[in-house]
């Protein structure tokens, strides 16, 4: 009789662990996407700073550069 609740607990825990693993994988992918977006933003801002400096110096070619 005591085996039934233990089996239920084990099955429930296994199910929860599987769900948690899927969530963690999803979070990892989301974090990677956010990091890539932030890298793009940083490259854009670097280029904008470079352009602002160049305009202050009197030179500008109008091209956008992306740095990694």
- Indicate yes or no: pTM above 0.75: no
* 25 close to 47: Cβ distance less than 8 angstroms: no
For residue 62, pLDDT beyond 60? no
**Gap between the Cα atoms of 4 and 44, Å rounded:** 60
DSSP notation for 4-66: HHHHHHHHHHHHHHHHHHHHHHHHHHHHHHHHHHHHHHHHHHHHHHHHHHHHHHT--------
**Structure confidence by residue, pLDDT tens digits, 5-55:** 999 999 999 999 999 998 888 888 899 999 999 999 999 999 999 999 998
């Amino acid at each position: 009789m005591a085996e039934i609740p233990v089996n239920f607990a084990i099955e429930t825990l296994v199910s929860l662990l599987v769900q948690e693993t899927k969530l963690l994988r999803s979070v990892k992918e989301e974090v990677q996407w956010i990091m890539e977006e932030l890298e793009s933003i940083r490259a854009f801002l670097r280029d904008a700073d470079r352009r602002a400096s160049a305009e202050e110096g009197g030179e500008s070619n109008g091209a956008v550069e992306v740095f990694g």
